[in-house]
Amino acid sequence: RKEVEQDPGPFNVPEGATVAFNCTYSNSASQSFFWYRQDCRKEPKLLMSVYSSGNEDGRFTAQLNRASQYISLLIRDSKLSDSATYLCVVTGTGTASKLTFGTGTRLQVTL
């Protein structure tokens, strides 16, 4: 089983729609979680961190479900500019742990 798994998509949604992605992780001891956005052929950039209590940033909401070992990203009122690949990132515990990326979920927002 992969350490971090995402549905690759693509998710094709009309402008204004609400869309949600999930990301599952295998290590129950994982400590930090993030969502990144990657535009075509560019470097990934942090979209938001995911906190235990859930967090919201404008149209974006991130949730963590430790019991079921997944994180989610909800995008409301999708814009054309939201079209990108969304990567989830999970880190382990301790100073020797590494950042593990999912393969990404591609979102295409259309008119």
Applying CB under 8 A, which residues contact another protein?
6, 31-32, 34, 41-46, 49, 87, 89, 91, 93-104
Least separation in angstroms between residue 81's CB and another protein is 20
CB nearer to another protein: pick between 53 and 111? 53
Give one DSSP letter per residue of 96-111, joined into a string: T--EEE---EEEEEE-
CB nearer to another protein: pick between 1 and 98? 98
Least separation in angstroms between residue 7's CB and another protein is 12
Least separation in angstroms between residue 60's CB and another protein is 15
CB nearer to another protein: pick between 46 and 77? 46
Burial (CB < 10 A; 0-12, 13-18, 19+), residue 101, is middle
Least separation in angstroms between residue 16's CB and another protein is 28
DSSP 75: E
CB nearer to another protein: pick between 62 and 87? 87
The side-by-side arrangement of strands in the sheet containing 55-57 is: 4-6, 19-25, 70-75, 60-65, 55-57
Give one DSSP letter per residue of 39-69, joined into a string: -TTS--EEEEEE-TT-EEETTEEEEEETTTT
